[in-house]
Structure 1
Amino acid sequence: MSWYTGNNSQTPFSMFSAEHLLMIIIFFLGIAVIYALKSRIKNRRLRKYEIAIAVSLLLFETAYHGWLITTGQWGKNHALPLELCNISLVFVIVLMLTRHRAIHSLVLFIGIAGAIQAIVTPVLSYGFPHFRFVHFFYTHILIIWVSVYFVVIHNYRPRFLSVLIALLFLNILLPVIIWINHSVNGNYWFLSEKPAGGSLLDYLGPHPWYILSLQGVAFVLFTLIWLVFKKR
């Protein structure tokens, strides 16, 4: 069971190691397959596969919190499912179960923008074959694959209005996350302080002004995503 309970000294993660690069390659290959085989995929009965993926994501996330608890790492100041990728994962599960267009409009922007950064520059301590490594890349890659799948296979093309709705959604959540951070001494969304070790936030001004700068960054990223996936 060392793959599940072992510490990060046994399976350390290294940025751009062979296993990390393999995950990046798998990520891009999956998107290429969706586009290349879209005609074949559209002709299949897909509902059971969508439900199966939703269930697998739910099981993985449940196992992740079980791992945090059994290894004594769970804490309300960092383990609540409040990060953008956590929220996107919940949306993906709901999307796969309901095929709701409004849910897709949110996860397409919020999920892709956050998950791409996580896949390329992961904040991760555990390498392959540890459970945390598999969980991290499986969930983040599926967030993007599912978002692209609904655009390509189900033709859920975003409107520019969806960009503004996604930004509004984030700003509605913003004061809630700030209040939770204050209540549990947390740093969800890096709203309390910048991450240690350097990040994009270092170029966006001091705290709390970088929070305003992030609004512009989000708008640019969401607009780029809209340009890529909008109806031609």
Structure 2
Amino acid sequence: MGGISNSFELFSTIHLATIIVLFCLIVYLFWQRRNLSSRHTEQLKTYERIVAGSLLAMEITYHIWLVTSGRWAADDSLPLELCSISLFVAIALLWTGNRYLVDFVVFAGIGGAIQAIATPVLDMNFPHFRFFHFFYTHAGIILTGLYFVWVKGYVPTFKGVIKTMMFLNIILPVIMVVNWLFDGNYMFLRMKPQNGSILDFLGPYPWYILSLEMVAFTTFVLIWLILVKDKRNGI
């Protein structure tokens, strides 16, 4: 029963199974893209708002669980991690259809959520609620970004990459202030994770923050190249 225990294990049976499920959902979305795009606008809007509502409900329930279990704290429970911000942007995008929000979800959202699903920072395993919350919300971010490219017709641009990088650098000082006020470590801007991560290969503090900028930019460019190639090939 190695995949079903209280503590989450990286690349355990349940972790790999979850990744496979997400991959199948991505393939299914790609396969159904033309069928979905041909549906009536109001019908799609209904689907989008149902998904947005489910993501918001999952996040609210998560914070209720944090409070009731005595886990909520200002130093690590505020929605100031990259994926937390991406989740709320994805919810707003699904609810409003505002095209100004697509770039952030496609680049920062997909890039951050893929990394999070590959190497989760998670202390609860299947079948705990936190397990479902983590993977449902991160998968929701990825699928929302791909949905707006494959179904809604958004064409990724290099300008979108630059805009996303600019937005991240605008909010970084705000997050640094919050870290200082609450002794937090949102976006790992004060220190590296203690249990090891990719940051261990990016130099000492504070230089690894500059390295992270390059990693983020490279990731966003790769996403742009992959998705824009699909659009140019008419896929």
TM-score of the aligned structures, taking structure 2 as reference length: 0.92
Give the paired residue count: 224
In structure 1, what is the equivalent of residue 23 of structure 2? Answer: 28
In structure 1, what is the equivalent of residue 46 of structure 2? Answer: 48
In structure 1, what is the equivalent of residue 33 of structure 2? Answer: 38
1:204-226 deviation per Cα after TM superposition (whole angstroms, max 9, x unaligned) = 11100111111111111110011
In structure 1, what is the equivalent of residue 115 of structure 2? Answer: 117
Offset, 1:60: 0.4
Which runs of no fewer than 5 residues in structure 2 stay unpaired?
A: none
In structure 2, what is the equivalent of residue 221 of structure 1? Answer: 219
CA distance in 1, matches of 2:118, 2:203: 23
1:53-76 deviation per Cα after TM superposition (whole angstroms, max 9, x unaligned) = 000011000000000000000000
Aligned pairs for 1:177-196 (under 5 A) are: 177-196=175-194
Say whether residues 1:16 and 2:11 are aligned partners.
yes
Q: 2:103–2:156: 8 Å Cα contact kept in structure 1? A: yes
AA aligned opposite 2:28: V
Say whether residues 1:166 and 2:161 are aligned partners.
no
Corresponding residue to 1:201 among 199, 205, 230: 199
CA distance in 2, matches of 1:229, 1:10: 37
CA distance in 1, matches of 2:68, 2:156: 41
Percent identity between the aligned chains? Answer: 50
Write out the 4+ residue segments of structure 1 that deviate beyond 4 Å after TM superposition.
none
Q: CA 1:202/1:148 → structure 2, altered by over 3 Å: closer, same or farther?
A: same
Which runs of no fewer than 5 residues in structure 1 stay unpaired?
A: 1-8
CA distance in 1, matches of 2:18, 2:223: 22
CA distance in 2, matches of 1:171, 1:128: 35
CA distance in 2, matches of 1:124, 1:197: 11
SS at match of 2:204: coil
CA distance in 2, matches of 1:37, 1:127: 31
Offset, 1:10: 6.6
AA aligned opposite 2:29: I
Aligned pairs for 1:91-106 (under 5 A) are: 91-106=89-104
1:69-92 deviation per Cα after TM superposition (whole angstroms, max 9, x unaligned) = 000000000000000000000001
